Structure 1
Amino acid sequence: MDYVLRQATPDDAENVVLMHTAAHEESYGHLLSPGFFAERRRSVPERVARRRPYLDAPQPRIIAEDANGEIVGLADAGPPRHEDAPCPLELYSIFVLARAQGTGLGTALLAAALGDAPAYLWVLEDNTKAQAFYHRQGFTFDGGRGHLPPEWESVPELRMVRGLPGQYT
């Protein structure tokens, strides 16, 4: 199946949030509680309102649409959110719905959001599928560790980087 990649706009906010919510359930269903997902579904209207201005930005806010115009993937990147960032570009998130996985869409989204620039990201410690994907894209663990905020049940996460001088993949 073919997908169209484009920069998201504020008008995409509701569909982006709905897709993101579905992707969280598919990707993290084994890592977070049912109550977490119930709260995510309940908070869709508030999250849409917060997402609109976020999508009105020059940084990559890439969405992938299928032949029916439905959003099936997203990737976003920009300046580091952490003072100890190993490089000046962070991949904030990348998600592809299960029905579009294995098509090369994740690789295309990653390329659209980052190009070939050095970058870093955070991945959940127990999300081995995502870790394998990132490793295939040239990312390696650099020893950075953290936890998601309490509203995300403080799940542990690991930092991965690519393209730094002296880095071996």
Structure 2
Amino acid sequence: MDLRPATPDDAAAGARLHLACWREAYGPLVDPALLEAALDEDRWTRRWREQVADGPPRLLAVHDDEPVGFVTCGPARHEDAPLPFELYAVYVRAAWHGTGVAQALLDAGLGDRSAYLWVLEGNARARRFYARNGFVADGGRQHYRPLDAWELRMLRRRAPS
């Protein structure tokens, strides 16, 4: 497995990866009709292309030329953010859970920074992963309308070096 920056040429494969991860992670947690309504491959491919070209970096985990996970993080997107840096996403295909891929992505993308993130309240696996990495729920909660699900905010504070 290799880690490398995503490029605009990765947009279609990245979007397919992202969609598959959403189905695997959120399928058991949300209304299937809402999930499928949110997963338009053409729209996600366009968004991936735009975000890779103009947004914060995305780092891909690739095995045999197939993306199996990604991470992206950057400046806080919320005006009332508790910290200036946000972990936007870490996704890994279910077949790669427990292999260290998510940890490698998190370490490479976030390093030892203080950061916050939003995670679906019902996603116990992800919450445990973040807790192992020093993230703690801080009481922040918001409704994620596209999936009609609640998200919890988690923070990780690191001492400045």
Q: Same fold (TM over 0.5)?
A: yes
For 2:54 and 2:42, locate their aligned partners in 1 and report how far apart those are by CA, in whole Å. Answer: 20
2:146 pairs with 1:151? yes
Shift of 1:57: 4.0
Partner residue in 2 for 1:20: 18
Counterpart contact for 2:62–2:68, Cα < 8 Å: yes
Q: Which of the residues 147, 151, 154 maps onto 1:160?
A: 154
Report 1:11-90 matches (<5 A).
11-41=9-39, 43-57=40-54, 59-66=56-63, 68-90=64-86
Structure 2: segments with no counterpart, 5+ residues: none
Under a length normalisation based on structure 1, what TM-score does the superposition of the two structures give?
A: 0.89
Distance 2:67 2:98 in 1: 16
Q: Name 1:10's counterpart in structure 2.
A: 8
Match of 2:96 in 1: 100
In structure 1, distance between residues paired with 2:55 and 2:25: 28
Corresponding letter in the other structure for 2:146: E
Instruction: Using the TM superposition, name which of 28-37 and 86-95 deviates more.
Output: 28-37
Task: Give 2:99's aligned amino acid.
Answer: T
The size of the alignment, in residue pairs, is: 159
Render the CA deviation track for 1:79-109: whole Å, top value 9, x for unaligned. 1111111111100011110111111111110
Q: Percent identity?
A: 45
Quick one: which amino acid aligns to residue 60 of structure 2? I
Residue ranges of structure 1 left out of the alignment (5+ in a row): none
Post-superposition shift, 1:164?
4.8
Runs ≥4 in structure 1, deviation > 3 angstroms?
Answer: none
The structure that is strand-richer by fraction is 2
What is the Cα deviation at residue 26 of structure 1? 0.7
User: Which of 114, 117, 123 is the equivalent residue of 1:118?
Assistant: 114
Q: 1:88 to 1:56 in 2, by over 3 A?
A: same
* Cα displacement string for residues 39-89 of structure 1 (whole angstroms, at most 9, x for unaligned residues): 244x111221122120014733111001x2111001100111111111111
